[in-house]
């Protein structure tokens, strides 16, 4: 179980850091008060809510990409022995 925890942290920690970097890059260009929903209506969220939701979306997307990389990097023996997290 310790190896699964190490693999999870090897995905989650870098994705957390990169989500923070992506947040800074995106919101240096985008004003959260000017965002609109897909229907065209103004998004009635506070700036803090927009930053928070965006951060977690960025983190999740980057973490999924890292997890897929971990899975694709596993050998057939590891997968067949059930060593994947």
Give percent of the chain above pLDDT 70.
95
Angle at Cα 59 formed by Cα 53 and Cα 42, nearest 5°? Answer: 25
Domain boundaries, the chain: 2-81
pTM of the model: 0.82
27 has pLDDT over 90? yes
20 pLDDT band, cuts 50/70/90, is: very high
Q: Which residues contact 37 (CB under 8 A, 6 or more apart)?
A: 43
Q: What pLDDT does 1 receive?
A: 59
Q: What pLDDT does 2 receive?
A: 80
User: Which two structure tokens, joined as six digits, stand for 33?
Assistant: 């008060």
50 has pLDDT over 60? yes
Contact 66, 14 (CB under 8 A): yes
Span of 9-18, 58-67, 76-85 with lowest mean pLDDT: 76-85
Cβ atoms within 10 Å of 56's Cβ, excluding its own: 11
């Amino acid at each position: 179980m310790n190896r699964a925890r190490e693999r999870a942290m090897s995905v989650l920690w870098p994705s957390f850091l990169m989500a923070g970097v992506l947040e800074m890059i995106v919101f240096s260009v985008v004003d959260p008060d000017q965002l609109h929903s897909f229907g065209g209506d103004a998004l009635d969220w506070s700036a803090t809510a927009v930053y928070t939701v965006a951060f977690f979306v960025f983190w999740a997307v980057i973490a999924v990409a890292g997890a897929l990389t971990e899975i694709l990097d596993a050998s057939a023996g590891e997968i067949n022995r059930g060593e994947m997290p």
